[in-house]
Amino acid sequence: MTPPENTFDDLLTEERTFDPPEEFRAKAHVRDPEQLERAKSDPEGWWAEWARQLDWFKPFHEVLDWQPPRARWFHDGELNVAHNCIDRHLDGPKRNKAALIWEGEPGDTRTYTYWDLHREVSRLANGLRSLGVERGDRVAIYLPMIPEAAFSMLACARIGAIHSVVFGGFSPESLADRIDDADARVLITADGGYRRGNVVPLKRNADEALERTDRVEKVVVVARGWNVSRTTGTRMVPDRDVWYHDLVEDQSADCPAESMNAEDPLFVLYTSGTTGRPKGIVHSTGGYLTQAMATTRWVFDLRDEDVYWCTADVGWITGHTYIVYGPLANGATVVMYEGAPDFPRRNRFWEICEKYGVTVFYTAPTAIRAFMGWGEEWPGRHDLSRLRLLGTVGEPINPEAWMWYREHIGGNRCPIVDTWWQTETGSILITPLPGVTTTRPGTATKPFPGISATLLNEGGEEVDSGYLAITRPWPSMLRGIWGDDERFRETYWSKWDEGTYFAGDGAKRDAQGNFWILGRVDDTLNVAGHRIGTMEVESALVEHPAVAEAAVVGRTDELKGQAIAAFVTLREGRPRSEELVVALKEHVATKIGAIARPADILFTSDLPKTRSGKIMRRLLRDIAEGKALGDTTTLADPAVVERLKERYEQEG
Ligand code: PRX
C-alpha cells in the first residue's frame, strides 16, 4: 500500500474561498462557532444530547462502552427506527406533511404524507410477519427507486428484521452471493424498473439468482406496473412468490414497533474491499440513527419547509442514510426519482427541481461533471431559484466542477457542502457546516462536530499528508463485517493501535486545517462514486475460459473519476481478438454488474512481477495513466513492462 502521489498539489494552491452568505447564516441551525464548543470539550455528552432527541422505549444511561475496536453506543437503551422516522411525527403538524414525493421515470408520481407512510409501512411489516419474518432475520431487498424500497427498509426496521439492500444494477450472481452471505430467507423485488426508457427485468434477475442459492423461502414482488410485467413476462413461482399488493391487501395498519436494543443491527450493506469477496458492513440501531439525524439536520441545514432531494440510489449507503433514515428522522419532505438524469432529455433533474420546488440538492461529482458536459443551457431553462443549499459526495470533486455547480445550479448564492464519508462510517464525518464554514472548491473542509480525524503516516505519526484516520469512536460507525470478525479487525483497526480507524483514503491538510481527500490507497477503485474491488474484477476475468491471469487498475477518467483498465494474459492457444475484448467486458458486466465493466482491456503475454511473483500494479497504473514508469528495479524482467507500455500507447 502506498499513499497516493502528489497529483493534487495544485489543489492546495486553490485560492478561491467562499464565506457563508449572510442571509443564509442568519437563519442557519449552526451560525455561531460557539455552538460547537460542547462537542469539542465533551463529545460523548454532546452525542447523547442528540440521542435524547429520539424517542426511546427504554432510556439509555450509558453513552459509550469502548473496548477497541468494539464500540457500543447507548447500549442499555431501547428504541425503534421506524417509530422514530414515522410514528413520532404523527401527533403534531407533520402528520399531514409530505414525507415522500416520488416521480417515476415515465412521469408517474405518488406522494405520501407521514400518515400514509405509517399505513404503508405497518401493513407491509404485518405482511412480512405473516411470512414468518422475525426479529433478527435477514431480508434482502432488490428494488428499483420506487417508494416500496423505502417502505421495505422501514418495515424491516419496524419488526426488527435486518435488511440487506442490493443495488438493482447488480447481477444475479452478485445478488446470490449477498443473499448467501447474509443468509436471507426473504427477498423483496419488483417485476422491473425503468431506466432510460427501458425496463430493467429485476424479477428475472432475481429468479436467476435464486437458481444459485436455495436459502430464500419467500419472494415478495412489487408490480411496478402491469405494463412492466407484460414486458418482462414475470413468472410467479407457486408457494414461493407473492405479489406485494396481495401480501399487504388484508393487513392491518396497526403494527406495534419492536423495542430494539440500541446495538441491535439495523442493516447490512455490502461494499467492495481488497479481496474478491464484498464485505457486509453491519450498522446499529441507536448510534446509527442518532448520527444520521444529526448530520442531516446540520449539514443540510434542514428545516421544516425544505424540499430535500438526494439523487443517490437506495442500493448505496447514501440512499440509506440521506434518502431514508436521516431525513425521515427529521420529519423532512424527501424527493425520490426512479430514473436517469438524461431521460427523456438532459434537463430531467432541473425539471424535477422546478416542479417540486427543491430547496436542498445532494448529488455526486460524476453527475456534476456530466451536467457540465451537457452544457448550462439545460439547467438554464428552469427556475432553480428555490434552491438554497447544494451538496456533493462519493469522490473528490475537481474545483472546475465545484465552480460550475455553484454558478449554474446554485446561482452563485447557495453554499456547497462537500461531504466525505463511507459505507463504513454510516454518516458524514468531514464536511462544511453551511452557516459557519468558509468553503474552498475541492476540500471537504473539517470534521463534523464530535468527530476526531487526523492524518497519519505508516508509523502512526501525525503528518500533513498521509492516511486519513479517525481517532475516536463515533455513533454511526460500523459495528462489524457480517460473519467475519477477523476481517473487521484486520481491515480497519490493525494499521496503528486498535482504537484508530483506518479509512483507506489518502489526504492532505492545508494551513487552515482543511482536509483534501485524494482517493483510495488500497486496491479498490472509485468509478463514478462507486467503490469496486480490483480483486472482484480480476476474479471475474479469470473465470472466463480464455483467461489465464488478469490484473486490474484504475486510470483517471474525466467523467467517472476513475475507469477500469484490465491487463489480461490468455490461456495457451487462445487467440487475441477484438471480439474477445468485447466478450470479456461483457463477461465482467454480467458477473458483477454494469458498473464494473472495464473500459480498456489489453492482452499481454506477461505481467510485470517482482521476483517473488507479486504483480506490480503500481507500474500498470503508470502505464494506464500514460505516465513515465516508476522504479522498475525490483521486477523479475524489466523488459516486460517496457513492451507493455509501448503496446498500451499504441492500442490503449
Ligand atoms: O474514497 C472516498 C470516497 O468514497 C469512498 C467511500 O465509498 P463508499 O463507501 O461507496 O461511500 C460513498 C458515499 C459515502 C471514500 O473512502 N469519497 C466519499 N466521499 C468523498 C470521497 N472522496 C472525496 N471527497 C468526498 N466528499
Of the candidates 602, 637, 644, 605, which has an alpha carbon nearest to the alpha carbon of residue 623?
A: 644
Residues 539 and 276 sit within 8 Å (Cβ to Cβ): yes
CA dihedral (484, 486, 492, 494) in degrees, to 10, reads 180
Of the candidates 111, 142, 139, which has an alpha carbon nearest to the alpha carbon of residue 127?
A: 139
What is the atom index within ligand 1 of the atom nearest the CA of 531?
10
pLDDT of residue 26: 97
pLDDT of residue 9: 58
Q: Between helices 147-159 and 114-130, what is the axis angle to 10°? A: 60
Closest CA to ligand 1's atom 13 = 394
pLDDT of residue 12: 66
Strands 279-284 and 265-271: antiparallel
Decide whether any atom of ligand 1 lies within 6 Å of the 313 Cβ. Answer: no
What is the atom index within ligand 1 of the atom nearest the CA of 316?
10
Q: Between helices 534-542 and 578-591, what is the axis angle to 10°? A: 120
* Helix/strand/coil for 589: helix
User: 470 CA distance to ligand 1 centroid (A)?
Assistant: 15
Within 10 Å of residue 310's Cβ, how many Cβ atoms?
Answer: 27
Decide whether any atom of ligand 1 lies within 6 Å of the 593 Cβ. Answer: no
Closest CA to ligand 1's atom 18 = 394
CATH label, 524-651, candidates 3.30.70.260, 3.40.50.280, 3.30.300.30, 3.20.20.140: 3.30.300.30
Decide whether any atom of ligand 1 lies within 6 Å of the 269 Cβ. Answer: no
Give the burial class of 116: count Cβ atoms within 10 A of its Cβ; 0-12 exposed, 13-18 middle, 19 or more buried.
middle
pLDDT of residue 643: 87
Decide whether any atom of ligand 1 lies within 6 Å of the 309 Cβ. Answer: no
Decide whether any atom of ligand 1 lies within 6 Å of the 428 Cβ. Answer: no
- Helix H, strand E, coil C: the string for 176-218 is HHHHHHHCCCEEEEECCEEECCEEECHHHHHHHHHHHCCCCCE
User: 362 CA distance to ligand 1 centroid (A)?
Assistant: 14
CB-side neighbour CA atoms (13 Å) of 15? 0
Q: Is the N-terminal amide bond of 69 cis, ω within 30° of 0?
A: yes
Decide whether any atom of ligand 1 lies within 6 Å of the 418 Cβ. Answer: yes
Residues 290 and 327 sit within 8 Å (Cβ to Cβ): no
* Helix/strand/coil for 520: strand
Decide whether any atom of ligand 1 lies within 6 Å of the 520 Cβ. Answer: yes
User: 474 CA distance to ligand 1 centroid (A)?
Assistant: 17
Distance CA 267, CA 263 (A): 11
Distance CA 185, CA 180 (A): 9
Q: Between helices 43-51 and 286-299, what is the axis angle to 10°? A: 90
Tell me if 22-506 shares its fold with 524-651. Answer: no
pLDDT under 50 in the chain at which residues? 1-6
Of the candidates 525, 523, 448, 460, which has an alpha carbon nearest to the alpha carbon of residue 491?
A: 523
Residues 197 and 217 sit within 8 Å (Cβ to Cβ): no
Place of cell 419532505: 333
Decide whether any atom of ligand 1 lies within 6 Å of the 271 Cβ. Answer: yes
Decide whether any atom of ligand 1 lies within 6 Å of the 531 Cβ. Answer: yes
What is the atom index within ligand 1 of the atom nearest the CA of 517?
23
Decide whether any atom of ligand 1 lies within 6 Å of the 437 Cβ. Answer: no
pLDDT of residue 5: 47
The 10s digit of each residue's pLDDT in 97-129 is: 999 999 999 999 999 999 999 999 999 999 999
pLDDT of residue 11: 66
All structural domains of the chain with their residue ranges: 22-506, 524-651
pLDDT of residue 652: 60
Q: Which of 274, 393, 416 to mutate to test the pocket of ligand 1 (most atoms within 8 A of CB)?
A: 393
What is the atom index within ligand 1 of the atom nearest the CA of 431?
26
Report DSSP state, residue 146. S
pLDDT of residue 614: 87
pLDDT of residue 227: 75
Residues 159, 165, 171, 173: is their CA dihedral positive or negative? Answer: negative
Decide whether any atom of ligand 1 lies within 6 Å of the 467 Cβ. Answer: no
pLDDT of residue 3: 45
Q: Which of 526, 562, 595 to mutate to test the pocket of ligand 1 (most atoms within 8 A of CB)?
A: 526
Which CATH superfamily includes the segment(s) 22-506? ANL, N-terminal domain (3.40.50.12780)
Q: Which of 505, 508, 525 to mutate to test the pocket of ligand 1 (most atoms within 8 A of CB)?
A: 505
Place of cell 476475468: 541
The 10s digit of each residue's pLDDT in 261-276 is: 999 999 999 999 988 8
User: 107 CA distance to ligand 1 centroid (A)?
Assistant: 31
Place of cell 427485468: 201
User: 173 CA distance to ligand 1 centroid (A)?
Assistant: 25
Decide whether any atom of ligand 1 lies within 6 Å of the 422 Cβ. Answer: yes
Report DSSP state, residue 635. B
Decide whether any atom of ligand 1 lies within 6 Å of the 544 Cβ. Answer: no
